[in-house]
């Protein structure tokens, strides 16, 4: 069974990149009936906020990506303490005392010499007496994970294929600060082990982290999950970004974007599969494959969202939108109108056309025709096929056809030049209202 996780730090709202990561992990889990875990990475208490956690949950719910379990790292520190102790006992974690400033200086010097800015492991040479001295002086250590620099790191990546890293080019990561607070690297691994995570899909900004974390999994005696690193999304041009906002859910919501459009785009962008509208996130499940992701960064254009949104609306069933439709709009109204919508909000405009009032003066040359049309309509039995029968009669009686026949009727009845099929609209408008509008138009 596949168990995946989405591990945001609650320091802000979700954005396109985040959402794609969440979506891909959700798809991976759901594809074989596995579990999807939401893990709040809130080890950095100062930057994390409850408000962010709440908004992340809300955003995921809106998108339809509901987790099976949620955990927060801030409640799991005891687990991390125990794991670090094991690592220390095994010689895979050690204490160090350099200040950030000292480390910064060392890095600068290395860079100037054209050397990779890797931690020199000076702390490894410290004796017990050195440690005692620090303790006596009231200086607490921070902890580093000791990499095994002798063994090349390899893994088969779900999207990048075979990957390899030379651990000697990597620094032993600091895993815990002197004040006892935790950094991302190790707790993430400990949780992945504890929660039984079997697959991790994330952005390629994590590849070197993965190299380090692979050694952590091994040092902790746990199997390494399947790893996959997706190329990052790059933004489109500024004009479009400003219009819809590539920032996140709230902006999309405000612009009338449906969650289905968001997930449909994000699930396929950067893959070899075509972007297509879906009525439900689950419709993305069949055929989803990490291997279809390209390795080059893909451009995310929020403008595409608008077009996809329209296509999404065109196929949404009544049940999916019923509670958000304008008063008075039933299933027939929705089906008649959805094909003409770019955003759901526009449904209200069409409901106004259906329910009226509509007054649209006919062109001078069409007045007689409209009068005749009203007369013929009066003589017909009302029914769902009224439009077809009415138009057929008018065609014969007035000799009009094509645009000259249809356009004046559409305009008089709806006040507009374009819109949904009149055959669907007329029964919704109703006999009395239709006649009233025709008379008004001809007056």
Partner RNA sequence: GGUCCCUUCGUCUAGCGGUCUAGGACGUCGCCCUUUCACGGCGAAAACACGGGUUCGAUUCCCGUAGGGAUCACCA
Size of the chain, expressed as the number of residues it contains:
443
Nearer to RNA, 32 or 40 (CB): 40
**How many C-beta neighbours within 10 Å does residue 242 have?**
10
Answer for which of 88, 103, 222, 372 binds RNA (CB under 7 A) is 103
Sheet with 153-157: list strands edge to edge. 161-165, 153-157, 226-230, 199-203
Using rule CB under 7 A, residue 138 touches RNA: no
Using rule CB under 7 A, residue 107 touches RNA: yes
Separation CA 260–CA 263 (nearest Å): 5
**How many C-beta neighbours within 10 Å does residue 132 have?**
10
Using rule CB under 7 A, residue 163 touches RNA: yes
The strand pairing partners of 155, in sequence order, are 163
Using rule CB under 7 A, residue 243 touches RNA: no
Using rule CB under 7 A, residue 321 touches RNA: no
Kindly state the smallest distance separating residue 283's Cβ from RNA, in Å: 15
Kindly state the smallest distance separating residue 368's Cβ from RNA, in Å: 19
Kindly state the smallest distance separating residue 274's Cβ from RNA, in Å: 3
Using rule CB under 7 A, residue 207 touches RNA: yes
Using rule CB under 7 A, residue 79 touches RNA: no
CA angle 21, 36, 64 (to 5 degrees): 70
Kindly state the smallest distance separating residue 30's Cβ from RNA, in Å: 22
Burial (Cβ within 10 Å: 0-12, 13-18, ≥19) of residue 30: buried
Kindly state the smallest distance separating residue 326's Cβ from RNA, in Å: 18
- Give the up-direction half-sphere exposure of residue 76: CA atoms within 13 A in the CB hemisphere: 24
Q: Which residues contact 130 (CB under 8 A, 6 or more apart)?
A: none
Judge whether 19 and 250 are in contact, CB under 8 Å: no
Number of residues that bind RNA (CB under 7 A): 80
Answer for which of 133, 154, 421, 439 binds RNA (CB under 7 A) is 421
Nearer to RNA, 31 or 209 (CB): 209
Q: Is 280 helix (H, G, I), strand (E, B) or coil?
A: coil
Query: For helices 16-31 and 259-268, what crossing angle results, to 10°?
Result: 80
Question: For residue 38, which phi and psi values (nearest 5 degrees)?
Answer: -100, 120
Using rule CB under 7 A, residue 228 touches RNA: no
Using rule CB under 7 A, residue 403 touches RNA: yes
Using rule CB under 7 A, residue 72 touches RNA: no
Within 172-191, the residues that bind RNA by CB under 7 A are: 173-174, 177-178, 182-185
Within 324-383, the residues that bind RNA by CB under 7 A are: 339-340
Q: Is 430 helix (H, G, I), strand (E, B) or coil?
A: coil
Answer for which of 195, 220, 224, 423 binds RNA (CB under 7 A) is 423
Sign of CA dihedral 105, 108, 112, 117: positive
Answer for which of 30, 92, 142, 146 binds RNA (CB under 7 A) is 142
Nearer to RNA, 41 or 199 (CB): 41
Separation CA 399–CA 393 (nearest Å): 10
Kindly state the smallest distance separating residue 21's Cβ from RNA, in Å: 11
Question: For residue 174, which phi and psi values (nearest 5 degrees)?
Answer: -75, 130
Using rule CB under 7 A, residue 167 touches RNA: no
**Segment contacting RNA by CB under 7 A, of 246-254, 301-309, 362-370, 432-440:** 301-309
Closest CA to 295 of 204, 415, 187, 185: 204
Answer for which of 192, 258, 301, 366 binds RNA (CB under 7 A) is 301
- Give the up-direction half-sphere exposure of residue 77: CA atoms within 13 A in the CB hemisphere: 11
Q: Going along 115-172, which residue ranges are E strands?
A: 142-145, 153-157, 161-165
Nearer to RNA, 37 or 96 (CB): 96
Using rule CB under 7 A, residue 17 touches RNA: no
Within 19-58, the residues that bind RNA by CB under 7 A are: 41, 43-44, 47
Judge whether 328 and 407 are in contact, CB under 8 Å: no
**Segment contacting RNA by CB under 7 A, of 7-15, 28-36, 61-69, 320-328:** 7-15
Kindly state the smallest distance separating residue 1's Cβ from RNA, in Å: 26
**Segment contacting RNA by CB under 7 A, of 50-58, 82-90, 201-209, 282-290:** 201-209
Within 254-293, the residues that bind RNA by CB under 7 A are: 268-272, 274-276, 292
Using rule CB under 7 A, residue 9 touches RNA: yes
């Amino acid at each position: 069974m596949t168990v995946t996780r989405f591990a945001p730090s609650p320091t802000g709202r979700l954005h396109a990149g985040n959402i794609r990561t969440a979506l891909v992990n959700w798809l991976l889990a759901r594809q074989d009936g596995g579990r999807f875990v939401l893990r709040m990475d809130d080890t950095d208490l100062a930057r994390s906020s409850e408000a962010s956690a709440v908004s992340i949950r809300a955003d995921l719910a809106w998108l339809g990506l509901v987790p099976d379990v949620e955990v927060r790292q801030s409640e799991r520190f005891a687990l991390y303490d125990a794991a670090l102790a094991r690592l220390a006992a095994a010689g895979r974690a050690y204490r160090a005392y350099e200040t950030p400033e000292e480390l910064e200086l060392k890095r600068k010097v290395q860079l100037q010499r054209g050397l990779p800015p890797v931690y020199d492991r000076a702390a490894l040479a410290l004796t017990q007496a050195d440690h005692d001295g620090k303790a006596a002086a009231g200086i607490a250590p921070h902890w580093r994970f000791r990499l095994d620099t002798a063994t090349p790191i390899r893994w088969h990546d779900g999207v990048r294929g075979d990957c390899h890293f030379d651990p000697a080019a990597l620094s032993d990561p600091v895993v815990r600060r002197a004040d006892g607070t935790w950094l991302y690297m190790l707790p993430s691994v400990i949780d992945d082990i504890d929660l039984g995570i079997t697959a991790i899909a994330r952005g390629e900004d994590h590849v070197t982290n993965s190299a380090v974390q692979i050694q952590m999994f091994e040092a902790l005696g746990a199997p390494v999950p399947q790893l996959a690193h997706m190329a990052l999304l790059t933004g489109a041009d500024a004009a479009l970004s400003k219009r819809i906002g590539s920032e996140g859910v709230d902006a999309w919501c405000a612009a009338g974007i449906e969650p289905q459009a968001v997930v449909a785009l994000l699930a396929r962008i950067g893959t070899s599969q075509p972007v297509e509208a879906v009525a439900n996130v689950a419709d993305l499940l069949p055929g989803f494959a990490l291997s279809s992701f390209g390795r080059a960064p893909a451009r995310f254009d929020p403008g595409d969202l608008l077009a996809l949104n329209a296509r999404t609306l065109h196929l949404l069933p009544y049940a999916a939108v019923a509670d958000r439709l304008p008063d008075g709009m039933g299933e027939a109204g929705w089906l008649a109108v959805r094909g003409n919508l770019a955003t759901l909000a526009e449904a209200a405009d069409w409901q106004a056309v259906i329910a009226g009032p509509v007054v649209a003066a006919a062109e001078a040359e069409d007045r007689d025709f409209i009068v005749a049309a009203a007369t013929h309509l009066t003589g017909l039995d009302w029914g769902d096929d009224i439009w077809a029968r009415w138009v057929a009669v008018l065609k014969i009686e007035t000799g009009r056809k094509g645009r000259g026949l249809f356009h004046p009727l559409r305009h008089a009845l709806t006040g507009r030049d374009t819109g949904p099929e009149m055959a669907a609209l007329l029964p919704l408008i109703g006999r009395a209202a239709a006649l009233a509008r025709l008379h008004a138009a001809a007056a």
